[in-house]
């Protein structure tokens, strides 16, 4: 025997719709409760506008060398022949001798662009986060060097040892999804 199809009525359509809405609401609530319990992951980050280049990033990090690295904002860089972030700032006798390079580990790579213009790149594997180049760049340059905590290296200590000793309180926790804080203006 063939089963007869029931006619579709307004009441049956409303009943099916109500059940579907109930299932969707239950799924939405379950998702909301599961997300509510999950905390957003936070990472340590340096605010370059607050950093005073005290040098404690190099010596206070639990890692050796430090997870703090110098980075360059090329849009701010003047590509100076005598960059005071690369050479020791001696206003009376500033020259290009190798003995005058400011970086103690040779992490800054200088390449000629053209004329009196040079490009300065940071070799992060050699950088110890001492901030000497950052401080020098701020003295007479455009301030294009600044420090950042490399997220790939940082072990994300519960209480960052650098943040504990930072005199300017430039280190704080930010959401992992947030981009690195960049230096966007000259000082």
| Beta-strand pair 68-72/145-149 | antiparallel
> pLDDT by residue for the chain (187 residues), tens digit each?
455 666 767 776 666 766 766 666 666 666 655 555 457 899 999 999 999 999 999 999 999 999 999 999 999 898 888 888 888 876 556 667 777 889 999 999 999 999 999 999 999 999 999 999 999 998 888 889 999 999 999 999 888 999 999 999 999 999 999 888 887 776 6
Residue 153, CA distances (Å) to 23, 126, 170 in order: 45, 13, 19
| Alpha-helix runs per DSSP H in the chain | 10-37, 56-60, 132-140, 161-165
Nearest one of 5, 152, 10 to 69, comparing CA atoms: 152
Q: Go through 19-39 and write b for each residue having 16 or more CB atoms within 10 A of its CB, e for each that does not.
A: eeeeeeeeeeeeeeeeeeeee
**C-alpha to C-alpha distance for 96 and 83, rounded to whole angstroms:** 9
Residue 180: predicted pLDDT: 86
Segments making up each domain of the chain, as ranges: 11-39, 42-175
Instruction: Give the tokens for residue 41.
Output: 């992951």
**Contact residues for 184 (Cβ-Cβ < 8 A; gap 6+):** 73
Instruction: Give the tokens for residue 73.
Output: 């904002």
């Amino acid at each position: 025997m063939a089963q007869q199809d029931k006619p579709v009525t307004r009441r049956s359509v409303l009943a099916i719709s109500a059940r579907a809405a109930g299932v969707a609401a239950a799924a939405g609530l379950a998702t909301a409760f599961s997300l509510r319990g999950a905390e957003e992951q936070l990472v340590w980050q340096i605010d370059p506008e607050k950093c005073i280049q005290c040098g404690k990033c190099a010596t206070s990090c639990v890692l050796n060398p430090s997870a703090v690295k110098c980075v360059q904002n090329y849009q701010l860089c003047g590509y100076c022949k005598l960059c005071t972030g690369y050479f020791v700032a001696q206003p009376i006798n500033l020259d290009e001798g190798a003995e005058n390079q400011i970086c103690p580990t040779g992490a800054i790579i200088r390449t000629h662009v053209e004329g009196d213009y040079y490009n300065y790149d940071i070799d992060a594997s050699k950088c110890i986060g001492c901030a000497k180049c950052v401080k020098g760049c701020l003295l007479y340059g455009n301030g294009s060097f600044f420090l950042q905590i490399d997220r790939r290296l940082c072990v994300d200590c519960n209480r960052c040892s650098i943040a504990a000793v930072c005199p300017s309180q430039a280190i704080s926790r930010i959401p992992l999804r947030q981009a690195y804080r960049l230096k966007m203006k000259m000082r």
